[in-house]
Amino acid sequence: MIEKPLTPEDVEFVTTLHGEERISFVVLMQPRSDQADVLLRAIDDVAIGELREAVREGDRPEGDEAREPAEMALEYSLRELREAGSEAVGQVVEDHPLDKLKTVVDASGADEVIVLTAPHYVEEFFHRDWASRARHKVGVPVLKLFAHSE
């Protein structure tokens, strides 16, 4: 599960996690939506010293407006994973992302879930971040990684 396009560093990191073993990915892109509270994102930005980002949180597309950028980010990320030699498919998920994640894990027989995300300190503190919530739902190990900056 990702929330922004994979950087080259992210691609290298996830494709080499298991050494030379060939890996296939099912990527679920979680776009910015009304579920993600603007105030929590702004607090996270302030916590990591990104004051300019905190000010801009209210200007970012959400809901339906976030769908097209999410689709573009997903296509870019899938292309990068494929160019790195991995099989990769994916989809944008807006409604009930953890239910969709569980369905994908069951249908694909996934060995693990990787949640690649920016730090979300408030949500992490209360174990409400995607990785913490997924650990109670999917039935396979969940690895939380912090995405690299663009």
Confidence (pLDDT) at 146: 82
Q: Give the global pTM.
A: 0.76
d(Cα 26, Cα 112) in Å, to the nearest integer?
11
Nearest CA among 133, 139, 144, 145 for reference residue 105: 139
pLDDT in tens, the chain (150 residues): 998 899 999 999 999 998 888 889 999 998 765 445 655 555 556 555 665 654 454 445 555 666 888 899 999 999 999 999 999 999 999 788 889 999 999 999 999 999 888 766 666 665 567 778 888 889 999 988 888 765
Confidence (pLDDT) at 118: 74
61 with 33: CB under 8 angstroms?
A: no
The one-letter amino acid at 42: A
